[in-house]
Amino acid sequence: NAGVTQTPKFQVLKTGQSMTLQCAQDMNHEYMSWYRQDPGMGLRLIHYSVGAGITDQGEVPNGYNVSRSTTEDFPLRLLSAAPSQTSVYFCASKQAGVTDTQYFGPGTRLTVL
Amino acid sequence: KQEVTQIPAALSVPEGENLVLNCSFTDSAIYNLQWFRQDPGKGLTSLLLIQSSQREQTSGRLNASLDKSSGRSTLYIAASQPGDSATYLCAVRGNQAGTALIFGKGTTLSVSS
């Protein structure tokens, strides 16, 4: 049981490039989400999904796309990277419902030059 | 809009001291509150989750309390150890759609030997 895994761990992009951050979980969790963590800002929700085929926006969705074709995977796509997207990105998962513990991946540190 | 505040932002204590970390939230309509630990460069590890109907939860040397009506939670760490050095994050889950976690900015704890 690997829990929540994220790849890559580090990435450097140039402004305007696109890329996909990968997230997978093997706990059969229905709810998955992406957060970004910035100094002095705390963690902020980007997008979330309550099940395969269902996604919705969080607090800071602009510049990011997501899809959920399987229960296990929830990739985050940066369409045209900007320096403001330099951050640490965390993927998380939990069972459906509001009473359950949320589990986080190890994070992806992204730098956009 | 829910806001979560953690005080103090940083705390340094000698080994063996008992300490309290504080978390406050502006909207008492929450389903649960979760305390996380984050080590430098790492992801988040869930420590304790308190449901809105509960007053406290305990795990080993950690005790978390919740006073929903006053919008406050405390994390009590007994007999602190250098290994407790980390950033501690408080997050609340509201009853709005998306069940997003709203995070505080954290308290960075340093325990010296």
Could you report the per-residue pLDDT of B2-39, keeping only the tens digit for each?
A: 899 999 999 999 999 999 999 999 998 888 899 999 99
The tens digit of pLDDT for each residue in B62-105 reads: 999 999 999 999 999 999 999 999 999 999 987 655 567 899 99
Question: Which chain B residues are within 8 Å of A109, Cβ to Cβ?
Answer: 41
Question: Which chain A residues are within 8 Å of B89, Cβ to Cβ?
Answer: 42-43
The whole-angstrom separation of Cα A100 and Cα B4 is 20
The tens digit of pLDDT for each residue in A47-85 reads: 999 899 999 999 899 999 999 999 999 999 999 999 999
Question: Which chain A residues are within 8 Å of B91, Cβ to Cβ?
Answer: 43, 102
Min Cα–Cα distance to chain A from B31, Å: 7
Q: Are A44 and A34 in contact (CB under 8 A)?
A: no
The whole-angstrom separation of Cα A110 and Cα B5 is 26
User: Tokens in use for A66?
Assistant: 């997501």
Got the DSSP string for A28-86? Answer: --SEEEEEEEETTTEEEEEEEEEETTEEEE-SS-TTEEE--SSSSB--EEESS--GGG-
CB interface of B with A, residues 64-103, below 8 Å = 89, 91, 93, 95, 97-101, 103
CB A43 to CB B42 under 8 A? no
CB A98 to CB B45 under 8 A? no
The whole-angstrom separation of Cα A73 and Cα A25 is 7
User: Tokens in use for B99?
Assistant: 């069940």
When pLDDT is cut at 50, 70 and 90, the band that residue A99 belongs to is low
At A22, is the secondary structure helix, strand, or coil?
A: strand
Residue B26 pLDDT = 95
**A64 part of contact set with chain B, CB < 8 Å:** no
